[in-house]
Amino acid sequence: MSEIERDEQEQIKQRRQKLSALREQGVAFPTDFRRNVITGEVIAEYADKTKEELEAEPVRVKIAGRMMTRRIMGKASFCHIQDMAGKLQLYVTRDTLPEGFYNEQFKKWDIGDILGAEGTLFKTKVGELSVKVDDIRLLTKALRPLPEKFHGIADQEIKYRQRYLDLIMSDKSRKTFVTRSGVVNFIRRFLDQRQFMEVETPMMQVIPGGATARPFTTHHNALDMGLYLRVAPELYLKRLVVGGFERVYEINRNFRNEGLSTRHNPEFTMLEFYQAYAEYTDLMDLTEEMLRGLAEEVTGSTTINYQGEAYDFGKPFQRMTVVESILHFNPELSAADLDSREAAVKVAEKLSIPVKDGYGLGKVQIEIFEKTVENRLMNPTFITAYPVEVSPLARRNDDDPHVTDRFEFFVGGREIANGFTELNDAEDQADRFRKQVEEKEAGDDEAMHYDADYIVALEHGMPPTAGEGIGIDRLVMLFTDAPSIRDVLLFPHMRPKN
């Protein structure tokens, strides 16, 4: 059925007729109504007052919102209007409005219409704070009916594709996005207080860097050149550290050309921050402080309930190395099983992990880690000492050159953050890029490009620096008990219909 035919649906047709009647009566979409209060303020201030108190000192309000429910009882009606802060009941009677208005105007309005009303606060028989209306106007006619009031929208697809309907109908969804805003706001304040500066770096990059992931490609017409959407801002932020901005952060979108799932959206929001004269352990401490504070601010507790499990952000976060964690969750293994590539490959094969020829010991260890450890890291945990092979931008450990000064942070079996002491040795970085290019040429389309300009920047000297990325969407999922990343994205990526 085409969109034009859909418009001929009976209910929409009726509403269009009501709208053309309004057009004939004058301005159908007036903009001159001004409210003097929102529902949340009214409720906060007057919900505790008694019936008698409200009668003794009458309070007048001008309020506006979308009509969500209506109960017409002859010459009197109740309806709820909803605004940005919540809902408030209106009591509308024939005899307090101008002659004929109640029957010829008000009763013809529809649920979903946007109204402006003026009146006096009172309490109903059952004690609900309401407005006794003596002036009411239709501000915006809604041509399409709202979803059914009791069940709301059950169809996930409509919730995602028509988010505005979901936001009108679901307090829970509205709250999720309010929380999301609160999370980002808290992080900004936290970092600002510590002298971090928020910056913006290119989303369109000539060489995509900073992560091992497949990029999206686009084209610049005037310059007639290919460009990539960034997979990470990392290399630009570190150029800023070279430039003397010693504490920088960016909260913005990254783009990765990979599959969609309950944890992956092609564009997602990442916090990245860099602190000069610090090591990865300093960032672990900072992360712990930030997440604990965030949990308390957002949920009022240091215990997070996610999908039926409780995670404790109050206690010190656990810390162990990649190898320690593998041994911990695979008690039948001993250190010798992870010491050599030969031994580790045997372990991997037993776990039916496909091992490619190019994999070194470190890559095999990480495959074993991902298969047997990652989704079992339930309470907040830092994993450290990642192999050099899988950490092309991280500083080598001084005592063990096979691993880096790097950590990842897990909660509920999910990776939330990744940080390390930055590699500021330009020559080592150039070698690592060359290695990535070899892997790319061998067929790994996630491997990194050689970024010569970045090497030049490092050759000018980057102070010792630690940096970290935190996935904002996954963090918000945790704090809003959301099972899918789509529940925390206002407009998640969906396949086009038809």
- Residues that bind RNA in the complex, under the rule CB under 7 A: 1, 9-11, 14, 69-76, 78, 80, 89, 91, 93-95, 108, 110-111, 122, 124-126, 128, 130, 132, 144-145, 147-158, 160, 259, 261-262, 483-484, 486, 494-495, 497-498
Q: Closest approach of Cβ 280 to RNA, in Å? A: 29
Q: Output 366 or 403, the one with its CB closest to RNA.
A: 366
- Residue 4 or residue 222: which is nearer to RNA going by CB? 4
Least Å distance between CB 239 and RNA? 35
Residue 90: its H or E element:
strand 86-93
Residue tagged 């109050």 (tokens): 314
Q: How far apart are CA 94 and CA 80, in angstroms?
A: 17
Measured from the CB atom, is 113 or 405 closer to RNA? 113
Query: Under DSSP, is residue 356 helix (H, G, I), strand (E, B) or coil?
Result: coil
Q: How far is the CB of 160 from RNA (least distance, A)?
A: 6
Q: How far is the CB of 351 from RNA (least distance, A)?
A: 10
Per the CB < 8 A criterion, the answer to whether 80 and 90 are in contact is yes
Residue (266 or 463) nearer to RNA, CB:
266
Decide whether 142 or 437 has the Cβ nearer to RNA.
142
Rg (CA), the chain: 29
Token representation of residue 445:
């389309």
Q: Which of 258, 136, 247, 147 is nearest to 199 (CA)?
A: 247
Residue 325: its H or E element: helix 322-329
Q: Residue 36 CB, nearest distance to RNA (Å)?
A: 23
Strands 381-384 and 318-321: parallel
Question: Toward RNA, which CB reaches closer, 157 or 459?
Answer: 157
Structure tokens at 253: 């979108």
CA dihedral 180, 182, 186, 187 (to 10 degrees): 20
Interatomic CA distance for residues 211 and 390, integer angstroms? 10
Q: How far apart are CB 400 and RNA at their closest, in Å?
A: 30
- 423 CB-near residues (< 8 Å, 6+ apart): 393, 394, 395, 396, 429, 432
Q: Please, which residue, 58 or 314, has the CB nearer to RNA?
A: 58
Q: How far is the CB of 344 from RNA (least distance, A)?
A: 18
User: Please, are residues 431 and 403 in contact by the beta-carbon 8 Å criterion?
Assistant: no
CB of 216 or CB of 450, closer to RNA? 216
Alpha helices by DSSP H, 62-206: 101-104, 156-161, 163-169, 171-193
Tokens coding 339: 């010491």
Q: How far is the CB of 301 from RNA (least distance, A)?
A: 25
The tokens describing 439, both together, are 């892997």
